Amino acid sequence: MATLESAVLNGKLAGSLRGQVLLPGADRYEQARGVFNAMIDRRPAVIFRCASAGDVVEGVGFARAHGLPITVKGGGHGVAGRAVCDDGVMLDLSAMRRVVVDPVE
C-alpha cells in the first residue's frame, strides 16, 4: 500500500487529474466507496472520482502499472455490488453526466 500512497501523494498523479483521487482515510473516501446495497462493504485501495475522459485514462493506466483490478461505478445501484472492489482501483464515473461522440473517429 505504501507504493500506492506515495504514487498518489507525490503529486504526479493527483496534479494531473480534473477529478479527485481518494485513499483510505481521506475525508470523502467512505462516502465514495458506498453503493446502494448497504450489505456490500468493500474497500478499494484507491478511488478515482473522474471528471473527464482523461481521468478515466489515468485511472486505468494507474491500475495497470500497479497490477490492480478495476471496477467502475456509475450510479452505484447494482445489487451485486460489482462497482466496488477490495484492494483495487474504483473508477467513480458518477459525476460524469454527458457523453460526446465524435462520428469522424
pLDDT digits (tens, 9 = 90+) for 22-69: 999 988 999 999 888 889 999 999 999 999 999 999 999 989 988 999
Quick one: cell of 74?
456509475
Q: How many CB atoms lie within 10 A of CB 95?
A: 13
Q: Looking at the domain assignment, is residue 100 inside a domain?
A: no
Q: What is the pLDDT of the chain when averaged over all its residues? A: 85
Confidence of residue 90 (pLDDT cuts 50, 70, 90): very high
Q: Looking at the domain assignment, is residue 105 inside a domain?
A: no
For the chain, what is the domain count?
A: 1
Provide the CATH number for the domain around residue 42.
Answer: 3.30.43.10
C-alpha–C-alpha distance, residues 91 and 103, integer Å: 26
**Which range of residues forms the domain containing residue 79?**
2-92
Q: Looking at the domain assignment, is residue 60 inside a domain?
A: yes
- The β-bridge partners of 91 are 48, 72
Q: Looking at the domain assignment, is residue 102 inside a domain?
A: no
Q: Looking at the domain assignment, is residue 24 inside a domain?
A: yes
Q: Looking at the domain assignment, is residue 26 inside a domain?
A: yes
Quick one: cell of 40?
456490500
**How many CA atoms, within 13 angstroms, populate the side-chain half-sphere of residue 37?**
13
- Residue 16's pLDDT is what? 74
Give the range among 10-19, 52-61, 86-95 with minimum mean pLDDT. 10-19
